[in-house]
Amino acid sequence: MVLFLGTLGMLVLTISLVIFIILHQRRVIRFQNKLQQMEQEQQKILLNASIKLQEEERQRLAADLHDDAGPLLATARLYLNENLVNQDKATQLQAIFQARQIIDDTIQLVRNISHSLMPPTLKNFGLESAVNDLFQKISGSGTINASSRFHEYRDRLKGEKELIVFRIVQELINNILKHSSASFIHLTQNVHADKFYLRIHHDGRGIVQSDFDKLNKSNVGLGLKNISSRLRVVQGQINFEKDISQTYYKVTIELPKDDPYQ
């Protein structure tokens, strides 16, 4: 009897174990498929956001060139028409002076457009200078107190990485200026255990990580989606949280530090 019950019990136990494993794995597979589907949808949203952003940027460029550079050059052309040779010397000089002034303005305009595409400070002097420059300009407006401090930036990040980080910072600052009504923004940079950190503090209205995740999955919040896709390229992470004192909002960007030997 003991033998029979023992054997039966053992059989039931082992077969139950196998059935449990099969059922558990089927559940895991179903969950994985769902997760994969969600991931694909997220990728699609990010891709659409990035395409939309690219299109907006192109439209902005087209508008700048068409509405500003176009009329300026057309005006310069008017000053330098064929009748100019028949005019008296004083008028000729006046027209040339005006045309030159307009061409100078056009050069400045084209330079501004080009700088908005790739800031020269970033290209020539690096992220630290570009961020300091940006913060000085914001502070100079007098409406908000903006400051930045780089603690350990002896080894610069690679060029393309610096540009991506700068664009993310620009986007974040833009959002803070637009939506938060903050009176100060402070940026700090540091390095810890092979990771590069940038942290932005501000005292306005902000968002926390759950809001960021929600906005990232929804159809609104193009700028935030753009931040996510840029971070994905540099294998970085972003964290939105409230300070322990519950007074400030902080955004932390974390990136793997560049290998100096690569």
Partner 1 sequence: MLIISEIPGLLPRGSKKYYDLTYTFIEYSTFAFVLAYTISRKSITTLIIILSLAFYSFQIIYTFNIEQKRGIDSIPIGIETILVFVYLLMFFYNYLKTNQNQPIYTSYGFWVSFGIIIYLGSTFFFYILANNLEDSDRDRLWPYSYIPDIIKNILFYIAMITFSKNPINNKNTAAKVPFLDMI
Distance between CA atoms of residues 129 and 148, nearest Å? 10
Distance between CA atoms of residues 217 and 47, nearest Å? 12
Residues in the chain: 262
Distance between CA atoms of residues 83 and 88, nearest Å? 11
Q: Going by DSSP bridges, is the β-strand pair 237-242/249-256 parallel, antiparallel, or unpaired?
A: antiparallel
For residues 174 and 148, the answer to whether their CB atoms sit within 8 Å is no
Phi and psi torsions of 187, nearest 5°: -115, 135
Is 47 one of the binding residues for partner 1 (CB under 8 A)? yes
Q: Is 79 helix (H, G, I), strand (E, B) or coil?
A: helix
Distance between CA atoms of residues 154 and 260, nearest Å? 11
> Bridge partners of 190?
197
Q: Which is nearer to partner 1, 44 or 111 (CB)?
A: 44
Is 62 one of the binding residues for partner 1 (CB under 8 A)? no
Q: Which stretch binds partner 1 (CB under 8 A): 17-25, 52-60, 154-162, 247-255?
A: 17-25
Q: Out of 1, 17, 133, 147, point to the residue binding partner 1 (CB under 8 A).
A: 17
Closest CA to 134 of 183, 161, 168, 179: 168
CB of 167 to partner 1, least distance (A): 19
Number of residues that bind partner 1 (CB under 8 A): 21
Distance between CA atoms of residues 59 and 68, nearest Å? 13
> Bridge partners of 192?
195
Phi and psi torsions of 181, nearest 5°: 55, 40
Is 38 one of the binding residues for partner 1 (CB under 8 A)? no
Distance between CA atoms of residues 99 and 222, nearest Å? 41
Q: Out of 1, 18, 87, 90, point to the residue binding partner 1 (CB under 8 A).
A: 18
Q: Which stretch binds partner 1 (CB under 8 A): 5-13, 130-138, 202-210, 247-255?
A: 5-13
The DSSP call for residue 197 is E
CB of 42 to partner 1, least distance (A): 12
Q: Which is nearer to partner 1, 26 or 192 (CB)?
A: 26
Q: Which stretch binds partner 1 (CB under 8 A): 9-17, 92-100, 191-199, 234-242?
A: 9-17
Q: Which stretch binds partner 1 (CB under 8 A): 11-19, 70-78, 141-149, 160-168?
A: 11-19
Q: Which is nearer to partner 1, 47 or 84 (CB)?
A: 47
Is 51 one of the binding residues for partner 1 (CB under 8 A)? no
Is 209 one of the binding residues for partner 1 (CB under 8 A)? no
CB of 3 to partner 1, least distance (A): 6
CB of 231 to partner 1, least distance (A): 14
Q: Which is nearer to partner 1, 29 or 62 (CB)?
A: 29
Binding site for partner 1 (CB under 8 A): 2-3, 6-7, 10-11, 13-15, 17-18, 21-22, 24-26, 28-29, 32, 43, 47
